[in-house]
Amino acid sequence: MELQTPYFVIEEAVLQKYYDMLTDSLEKNWGNYLVGYSFKTNSLPWLVSFMKKQGAYAEVVSQDEYSLARYMGFRDDEIVYNGPYKSVESFRNVLMAGGYMNLDSQMELNWLIDLAKEYPEKHFYTGIRANFNLEQMCPGETTMGEMSGRFGFCYETGKLAQGIAAIKALPNVTLTGLHLHSSSKSRSVKVFRSIAQMACQLKREFDLKLSYVDLGGGYCGGMPGRPEYPDYFPAVAEELAKEFDPKQTKIIVEPGISMISKCTSFVTSVFDTRDIKGTRYVMTDGSRFNIDATMIKSSYFFEIEENRAYAAERPVMAEQVISGFTCMEVDRLFIHKDRQELVPGDKIVYENVGGYTMSLNPLFIQYFPAVYVKRGNEMIQVRKKWTPEEYVQGSVWEKE
């Protein structure tokens, strides 16, 4: 039976291949590691439970993500808690249970000080996020360039030193981890080598005894000619081994896009074509909002599946503007140049769309599309298309 487009498909075998590639490389190069799956990248319940079954912890960055992790069965000690927007209650729960807490700000440090005072008989373990000038180590590669990042305690201004000193002064708190996630455009091996070098430098400078070094996310995966998981960890391990012993210190990784992009596609159909002032518009039932909600992509990986029922000649057309279904003019995905005419019933299948796509989908004009998991030849629906029923849940209105 033909499935109703648009829909996302996750190929389970490819997902498993990437998960295994990551853990095999960590196992081989360091042996002591933890995967914290990045919820924000894609928190589809099926994916979250897949990761949980593999043994991953939940890497969350808000009260809602924390609540979802708990709802999906992660214990408080199976949470890696990052980001600037934690709630006090969830912050305390994770610390009380011995989960992985990476302090992002002075505000959170104050929460920790209060908690430690409130429970003087209990011992707490925390990590701290270092904000440092990765651009200096990898010129032209970072997302922020010369501008500072917004997250964590700044090394260069002395705030990190102050934060570390404040934690060390607490009698019932141990600083046990460093979090060093830094977003880069290049996602290069050099970026991760530099992050590992920084971990070593901070350990030496502040005389730290760490049970974990959290490298964060930001790896490449499934992009031809770009690094894969097995390329990163020999370099990371080579650097970390200069200061750390795998028996004492584990590596935490927080994979997101690298894990799920390659296995995920978005299947759309052409439903209409129109010519306006010499321009051919190809109207599809998928939208740029489904796969590029932040409007930053300039190209897509895609394949065309022609409608076999269409028997007429397909002339080659100089330009066809592939457009989404919404009423926004910006909803144009790409220009299909010097290709055969596309007609209703043709499918456009976008590849590498698993990261920051489903989680950034809006409820705009059409509700969330269905999601299938491809297991062998079977297509298993893991989310049904949203209808007004899901849309109105929790709403109140006066019925006539």
Ligand X SMILES: Cc1ncc(COP(=O)(O)O)c(C=O)c1O
Question: Burial, 264: exposed, middle or buried (Cβ in 10 Å; 0-12, 13-18, 19+)?
Answer: buried
Is 355 an interacting residue with respect to ligand X (CB under 6 A)? yes
Angle between helices 45-54 and 12-29 (to 10 degrees): 40
Q: How many residues bind ligand X (CB under 6 A)?
A: 16
How far apart, in whole angstroms, are the C-alpha atoms of residue 219 and residue 255?
7
Is 258 an interacting residue with respect to ligand X (CB under 6 A)? yes
Q: Give least dist CB 64 to ligand X, A.
A: 16
Is the link from the previous residue into 6 a cis peptide, with omega within 30 of 0? yes
Tokens representing 21 are 């590639």
- Which one among 163, 255, 286, 369 touches ligand X, defined by CB under 6 A? 255
| Part of the chain binding ligand X (CB under 6 A), chosen from 161-169, 191-199, 211-219, 239-247 | 211-219
Q: What are phi and psi of 69, to 5 degrees?
A: -60, -45
Q: Give least dist CB 289 to ligand X, A.
A: 19
Place of tokens 């260069």: 156
Q: Give least dist CB 38 to ligand X, A.
A: 4
Interface positions, 143-172, toward ligand X (CB under 6 A):
none
Q: Give least dist CB 129 to ligand X, A.
A: 8
- Name the amino acid, one letter, at 16: Q
| Part of the chain binding ligand X (CB under 6 A), chosen from 194-202, 212-220, 270-278, 299-307 | 212-220
| Part of the chain binding ligand X (CB under 6 A), chosen from 18-26, 223-231, 249-257, 323-331 | 249-257
Is 127 an interacting residue with respect to ligand X (CB under 6 A)? no
How far apart, in whole angstroms, are the C-alpha atoms of residue 262 and residue 22?
14
- Which one among 78, 135, 239, 254 touches ligand X, defined by CB under 6 A? 254
Is residue 149 within 8 A of residue 159, CB to CB? The reply is no
| Part of the chain binding ligand X (CB under 6 A), chosen from 44-52, 240-248, 253-261, 306-314 | 253-261
Residue 52: C-alpha distances to residues 13, 68, 75, 201, 263 (Å): 16, 13, 11, 33, 18
Residues 6+ apart with CB under 8 A from 7: 266, 267, 369, 370, 371, 372, 385
Closer to ligand X by Cβ: residue 202 or 257: 257
- Name the amino acid, one letter, at 30: W
Nearest to 173 by CA among 242, 96, 105, 250: 96
Interface positions, 25-44, toward ligand X (CB under 6 A):
38, 41
Closer to ligand X by Cβ: residue 19 or 325: 19
Interface positions, 74-113, toward ligand X (CB under 6 A):
82
Is 352 an interacting residue with respect to ligand X (CB under 6 A)? no
Tokens representing 207 are 């005389």
How far apart, in whole angstroms, are the C-alpha atoms of residue 154 and residue 169?
19
- Which one among 62, 90, 141, 181 touches ligand X, defined by CB under 6 A? 181
Is 354 an interacting residue with respect to ligand X (CB under 6 A)? no
Q: Give least dist CB 194 to ligand X, A.
A: 16
Q: What are phi and psi of 218, to 5 degrees?
A: 100, 15
| Part of the chain binding ligand X (CB under 6 A), chosen from 48-56, 210-218, 228-236, 377-385 | 210-218
Is 218 an interacting residue with respect to ligand X (CB under 6 A)? yes
Binding site for ligand X (CB under 6 A): 38, 41, 59, 82, 181, 183, 216-219, 254-258, 355
